[in-house]
Amino acid sequence: MDTSAHTPPIVIGLTGGIGSGKSAVSDYFATMGIAVIDADVIAHALTAKGSPILDTLKHTFGDWVVDADGNYDRAAMRAYVFDKPDELAKLNHIMHPAIYEQILHQLSHATSPYAILSVPLLFEGRHKTSNLLALCSHLIVVDVPVSVQLERASRRDANAITQIQAIIDKQISRDDRLSLAKSLGADVVDNTGTIDELHAKLGKLHERYLLMARPAQARPLNR
């Protein structure tokens, strides 16, 4: 895909554990007129009913990957690959290149001073071929204690605490995430307060990112 005709804006990577409040953060930036590219939203669009990617998943894994209405059964797939590294690798081999290509496409068409790239497993994928971290000039890491993650995620998704804890255990640990964030100079946003407190923090970041996005000031992360 040729994106040479476009100049992508400065890219601010956004990540955090399940239930940390990444959506609230990306929603704020969207209301400020900032382009938000969300890897999860892209993944959902790519696996829409009747899509080529969904056909590939059916061919690879079987017809069970769709429900009675022909829609992608994400819960079934998530449960299937959870403890099967080889099967997860197959799924990622199908999904990741397509997601990466769509992210590049959306970034190349973003017109805001900077863009937010929201990727839940941004740190976990830093050693993969489609290294989305390499696209980022700066980072936001949304942080809450694990107890808050469990409470929020169970309330949002109606999943059992044990299921959510298992998902958390599969992700990079909170300590490792914060350590990596520090080493990369990320902005760590404590999201244990109210929505107004969160917006106040994000407003300050927004003003700083606007300054960062001025010509010749964007620099890639030193990884």
Q: List residues forming the annotated binding site.
A: 19-24
Both tokens assigned to 122: 């941004």
| Virtual torsion, Cα 146, 201, 117, 32, nearest 10 deg | 140
Instruction: List, as one string, the DSSP characters of 166-221.
Output: HHHHHSPPHHHHHHHHHHTT-EEEE-SS-HHHHHHHHHHHHHHHHHHTSTT-----
- What whole-number distance in Å separates Cα of residue 187 and Cα of residue 210? 15
Helices (H), the chain: 22-31, 39-46, 52-61, 74-81, 85-108, 146-157, 161-170, 174-183, 195-212
Residues annotated within a binding site for ATP: 19-24
Looking at residue 61, its amino acid is F
